[in-house]
Structure formats: C-alpha cells, structure tokens
C-alpha cells in the first residue's frame, strides 16, 4: 500500500507541475472519477463488496463518454477498459502469473490475493496478454504493469501535454455577441 | 496566477485519481505481501 501511495503522490505532483507549465483542458464531471476510485481503493485495502467493481466500471465509462472530446481521454479509456475487461473475469481482481512473481523473487501460491494491490495470483489466466506481466521495476520496490496500464498512462500523458484550452470558442462567442455583427 | 495554480492542482489530482481508478499495476515493497483466499 505504501508503494501505491508513493506512486499516487509522485504522479499527482508531476501532473500538477506539468499542468502548471502547460494548463491542460480540464475534464468535467470529476465526481464520477471519485465514485470510480472508491471501490478501487477498497480493493487495495482488501475490502470486497459485491457490486463495487460494477459501480467503478459504470462511473468510469460515463466519465469517459462525457469527456470523450478531450485529447487523450479515449486513449485512457481504452487502457482502463482493457484492465477492467480482464479484471471482470476475476471478480474485480487483476490476475498475475505466479511465474512472473517468482521471476522477481516473490514466489507465491496460486490463489493468493496481494495485500495493497488489486492482484490475485494465478497459474494461467483468461485474456493472459492483458494481465499484469510487464515488470517495470524489480528490487526493493516492485512494479508490474499490464498493457492496459501502459496505454492508460500514455493517454494521461497525452492529455497533459496535448490538450490545451483554445481561445477559439471564446473568440467566436465574443464575435457573435458583438452588436455590429449579425 | 492563483486560479492557474488551483487548476494545476486539480489536474494533478485528476492524474492521480485516474491512475488509482484505472490502472491495476502490482506495486509492492519487497517482503510481505499475500493472503490466500479460497476460491480466488
């Protein structure tokens, strides 16, 4: 859990710094994101309530739909949906191969649920290529990602770097309200 | 300037929230980790 908190704080800090230099177009209806994140935090804390995964998926889908015109949001949506697709097969947990864990020095039995993560250890997975198998960091801190994670991160980076509020809409608005222009 | 800072903080929070809500990366410190739940 500590690693997740560190990642959250670092990413929030980096996001704030980038947004300060180049303000991105802000998505709307961010309350939906909060609704989507609560069940995910629950699963990180090993709290499993029936239906919480569905709430998360529904809130996230609606948020993406309403913000689909913002650059990067569709990329984030694709990445997250890939994750949610494979997680749906495991009741809201992300499968991770026991072989991958053994490879990074954490041999665990099949069926173990990882504390402080959304992962469940499996011997073989449905939709195996979409599960967690990409080792990003190994050692004192271990980070293993799925292809969906990387796509979602790319989408977030794209949103931060390439979506900027344009003045066009405002300009047209101002022109059309000018009394001498019909 | 103040609103720009507030917007930047809001954007940062969106980034963090999106990561927690949307990604499923296993992130763990070395050492302790697992519990076993039957049927999982």
What is the ipTM metric for this complex?
Answer: 0.78
How high is the pLDDT of residue A144? 86
User: Looking at residue B26, what DSSP letter applies?
Assistant: E
Rounded CA-CA distance A16/A31 in Å is 19
Strand order in the sheet with B34-36: A94-97, A119-122, A112-114, B34-36
Choose among A15, A56, A152: nearest Cβ to B12: A15
Q: Are B36 and A40 in contact (CB under 8 A)?
A: no
Tokens of A94: 């992300």
Q: How far is it between the farthest Cα atoms of chain B?
A: 55
3-state secondary structure of B37: coil
Cross-chain Cβ contact A20/B4 below 8 Å = yes
Tokens of A120: 């469940």
**pLDDT-based confidence at A179, cuts 50/70/90?**
low
Residues 6+ apart with CB under 8 A from A170: none
Q: Are A15 and B23 in contact (CB under 8 A)?
A: no
Choose among B8, B23, B39: nearest Cβ to A149: B23
Cross-chain Cβ contact A153/B40 below 8 Å = no
Q: Are A100 and A135 in contact (CB under 8 A)?
A: yes
Q: Are A67 and A91 in contact (CB under 8 A)?
A: no
B26 Cα to chain A: minimum distance (Å): 5
Q: What is the pTM of this model?
A: 0.81
3-state secondary structure of B33: coil
A179 Cα to chain B: minimum distance (Å): 31
β-partners of residue B27 are A143
Nearest C-alpha neighbor of A26 from the set A155, A151, A158, A163: A163
- Cβ neighbours around A102 below 10 Å, total: 12
Best mutation target, B16, B21, B40, to test chain A (most A CBs within 10 A): B21
The A residues from 116 to 145 touching B (CB cutoff 8 Å) are: 116-121, 132, 136, 139-145
How high is the pLDDT of residue B32? 44
3-state secondary structure of A131: coil
Choose among B15, B23, B34: nearest Cβ to A121: B34
Residue A17 has pLDDT above 90, yes or no: yes
Rounded CA-CA distance A62/A56 in Å is 10
Tokens of B13: 């929070």
pLDDT digits (tens, 9 = 90+) for A97-145: 888 888 888 788 888 877 777 888 888 877 888 888 888 877 777 788 8
**pLDDT-based confidence at A13, cuts 50/70/90?**
very high
Cross-chain Cβ contact B23/A152 below 8 Å = yes
Q: Are B21 and A156 in contact (CB under 8 A)?
A: no
Q: What is the mean pLDDT of residues B16-37?
A: 65
Q: Does A95 touch chain B (CB under 8 A)?
A: no
The A residues from 6 to 25 touching B (CB cutoff 8 Å) are: 7-9, 11-20, 23-24
């Amino acid at each position: 859990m500590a690693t997740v908190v560190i990642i959250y704080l670092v990413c929030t800090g980096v996001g704030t710094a980038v947004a300060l230099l180049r303000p991105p177009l802000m998505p709307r209806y961010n309350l939906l994101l909060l609704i989507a994140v609560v069940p995910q935090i629950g699963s990180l804390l090993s709290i499993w309530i029936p239906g919480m995964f569905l709430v998360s998926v529904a809130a996230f889908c609606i948020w993406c739909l309403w913000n689909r015109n913002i650059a990067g949001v569709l990329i984030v949506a694709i990445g997250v949906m890939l994750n949610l697709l494979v997680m749906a097969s495991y009741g809201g947990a992300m499968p991770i191969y026991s072989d991958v864990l053994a490879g990074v020095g954490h041999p665990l039995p099949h069926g173990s649920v990882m504390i402080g993560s959304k992962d469940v250890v499996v011997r073989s997975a449905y939709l195996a290529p979409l599960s967690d198998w990409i080792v990003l960091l190994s050692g004192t801190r271990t980070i293993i990602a799925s292809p969906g994670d990387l796509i979602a991160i790319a989408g977030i980076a794209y949103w931060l770097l390439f979506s900027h509020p344009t003045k066009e809409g405002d300009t047209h608005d101002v022109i059309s309200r000018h009394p001498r222009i019909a | 300037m103040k609103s720009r800072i507030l917007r930047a903080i809001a954007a940062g929070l969106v980034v963090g929230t999106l990561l927690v809500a949307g990604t499923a990366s296993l992130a763990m410190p070395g050492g302790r980790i697992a519990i076993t739940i039957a049927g999982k």
